């Protein structure tokens, strides 16, 4: 009996020694309270490494190596930049699932083909706490690890975020000359990074380019006028994108719009006529008057910006005073072409000159009947091409995008 008890005692000592050796093997991956992590920010559901051996515990020991996580965010971290795309990697295994969640919902992401890494597709919201929950399986059967990490993003004031507004509006039907216009309420210095996240797609597809007019305004236009019937989608996915100077994008913006009939109006200031074409067909030729000497109407390609069934026109708002001043309370069927005040509108006071003389202060006037008809078929984005004067249309005075050759226009891209 004493020999048997002695053998059992030796066996117990050997098992104890092996258990001690097993703990030593785990120690590099179980620092602090986050076993199974190389960055000290995660928690495994085991010790990271476990061992088993033969019955006598002295030979044939086998390691079961559990997966080890790493990430670009750490447990309990605060002030994480909203521009961060959360990523998780695993060694000695492959990821089964990764979920990044907050009170706002789940962050979309994608797994690599080899299952070793996961990367978020969306950036983060300010002053928000996120939880990263990851599960991985090891190379050996039954080997599994879990990780759970929480972190909080930086707090941002509204003055540290820039918001994008888009024209056209959601669901709007516009003319073939309508550019996509994105305006930001706070300047964007890092234009190239923002432009990478601003896309315009269409069916049918049409070649086009972005052009930055300033730090707060970017336009996109196709190489030639839009094709009638085109469906357009604009995605300005800049939420959390670094705009430079401590400013970040605020909210993604996505809109869809449609291109309507191809209305193109051709105005000749020398012949005092407007030819109205729709989808290539001449619908009507309208007698008109344009700007007189000193108020010459600009030649070039203009686009209808907005429409007013009735509008007050006060010359003081465009700098015309003295003997040439006017203040007309109810100008009918007015359609704006430039920011500086050129309109197409009804001008019953000049019917006698329409078709034979230019007598306006720069606007294109016609009879009330003709103006009513034209107003009824027109929409934002319709094109008005002017010829016959030596005063050129300027690029930024309205939707002047078509007054540069496309090769030159495309140079306004930040990429």
- Cβ(389)–Cβ(299) below 8 Å: yes
% of the chain at pLDDT higher than 70: 85
Label residue 15 by pLDDT band (50, 70, 90). Answer: very low
Q: How far is 287 from 351, CA to CA, in rounded Å?
A: 9
Q: Which residues are catalytic?
A: 345, 363
The pLDDT tens digits of the residues spanning 140-189 come to: 777 889 999 999 999 999 999 999 999 999 999 999 999 999 999 999 99
> Does the pLDDT at position 12 exceed 60?
no
Class of domain 2-152: mainly beta
Fold identical between 2-152 and 263-403?
Answer: no
Label residue 61 by pLDDT band (50, 70, 90). Answer: low
Output phi, psi for 391, to 5 deg.
Answer: -105, 115
Query: Per the structure block, which two tokens stand in for 312?
Result: 């007050």
DSSP character string of 335-347? EE--TTS-EEEE-
DSSP character string of 104-157? TEEEPEEE-TTSSEEEESS---TT-EEEEEEEEEESSTT-EEEEEEEEEBPP--
Mean pLDDT rounded to a whole number for the chain: 88
Of 336, 344, 335, 361, residue with least CA distance to 288: 344
Query: Per the structure block, which two tokens stand in for 108?
Result: 């979309």
Q: Which residue has the higher pLDDT, 76 or 328?
A: 76
Mean per-residue pLDDT for 243-252? Answer: 97
Longest Cα–Cα distance of the chain, Å, equals 133
> Does the pLDDT at position 23 exceed 50?
no
> Does the pLDDT at position 33 exceed 50?
no
Of 67, 79, 69, 65, residue with least CA distance to 39: 69
pTM summary value: 0.82
Q: How far is 116 from 93, CA to CA, in rounded Å?
A: 7
Specify the pLDDT at position 24: 33
Domain boundaries, the chain: 2-152, 158-260, 263-403
Q: Which residue has the higher pLDDT, 73 or 314?
A: 73
Label residue 20 by pLDDT band (50, 70, 90). Answer: very low
The torsion of the CA quartet 295, 375, 380, 205, rounded to 10 degrees, works out to -120
All residues at 6 or more sequence positions from 164 whose CB lies less than 8 Å from its CB, including other chains: 182, 183, 184, 236, 238, 249, 251, 253
Q: How far is 383 from 71, CA to CA, in rounded Å?
A: 53
- Does 158-260 carry CATH code 2.60.40.3710? yes
Q: How far is 361 from 194, CA to CA, in rounded Å?
A: 41
The pLDDT tens digits of the residues spanning 309-350 come to: 999 988 888 888 888 888 889 999 999 999 999 999 999 999
> Does the pLDDT at position 8 exceed 80?
no
Q: How far is 120 from 71, CA to CA, in rounded Å?
A: 12
Specify the pLDDT at position 60: 54
Mean per-residue pLDDT for 122-131? Answer: 97
Specify the pLDDT at position 325: 86
Picking from 44-48, 103-107, 222-226, which range would have the lowest pLDDT averaged per residue?
44-48
Q: How far is 268 from 275, CA to CA, in rounded Å?
A: 9
| Architecture of the domain spanning 263-403 | Beta Barrel (2.40)
Specify the pLDDT at position 123: 97
Is the bond preceding 99 in cis, omega lying within 30 degrees of 0?
Answer: no
């Amino acid at each position: 009996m004493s020999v048997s008890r002695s053998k059992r005692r030796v066996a117990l000592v050997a098992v104890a020694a092996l258990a001690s050796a097993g703990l030593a093997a785990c120690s590099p991956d179980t620092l602090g309270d986050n076993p199974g992590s190389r960055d000290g920010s995660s928690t495994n559901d085991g010790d990271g490494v476990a061992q088993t051996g033969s019955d006598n515990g002295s030979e044939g020991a086998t390691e079961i190596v559990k997966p080890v996580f790493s990430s670009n965010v750490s447990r309990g971290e605060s002030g994480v930049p909203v521009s961060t795309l959360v990523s998780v990697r695993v060694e000695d295994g492959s990821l089964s699932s990764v979920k990044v969640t907050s009170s706002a919902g789940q962050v979309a992401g994608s797994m690599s083909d080899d299952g070793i890494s996961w990367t978020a597709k969306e950036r983060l919201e300010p002053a928000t706490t996120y939880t990263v929950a990851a599960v991985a399986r090891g190379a050996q059967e039954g080997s599994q690890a879990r990780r759970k990490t929480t972190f909080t993003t930086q707090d941002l004031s509204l003055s540290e975020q820039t918001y994008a507004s888009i024209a056209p509006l959601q669901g709007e039907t516009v003319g073939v000359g309508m550019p996509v216009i994105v305006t930001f309420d706070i300047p964007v210095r890092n234009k190239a990074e923002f432009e990478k996240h601003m896309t315009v797609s269409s069916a049918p597809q049409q070649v086009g380019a972005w052009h930055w007019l300033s730090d707060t305004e970017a336009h996109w236009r196709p190489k030639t006028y839009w094709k009638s019937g085109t469906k357009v989608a604009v995605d300005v996915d800049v939420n959390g994108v670094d705009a430079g100077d401590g400013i970040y994008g605020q909210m993604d913006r996505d809109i869809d719009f449609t291109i309507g009939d191809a209305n193109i109006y051709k105005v000749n200031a020398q012949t005092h006529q407007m030819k109205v074409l729709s989808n290539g067909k001449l619908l009507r030729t309208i007698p008109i008057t344009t700007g007189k000497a000193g108020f010459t109407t600009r030649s070039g390609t203009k686009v209808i910006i907005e429409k007013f069934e009735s509008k007050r026109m006060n010359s003081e708002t465009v700098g015309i005073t003295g003997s040439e001043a006017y203040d007309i309370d109810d100008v009918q069927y007015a359609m704006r072409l430039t920011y500086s005040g050129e309109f197409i509108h009804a001008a019953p006071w000049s019917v006698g000159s329409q078709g034979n003389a230019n007598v306006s202060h720069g606007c294109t006037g016609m009879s009330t009947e003709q103006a009513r008809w034209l107003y009824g078929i027109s929409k934002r984005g319709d094109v008005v091409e002017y010829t016959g004067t030596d005063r050129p249309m300027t690029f930024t005075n309205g939707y002047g995008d078509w007054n540069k050759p496309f090769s030159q226009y495309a140079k306004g891209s930040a990429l």
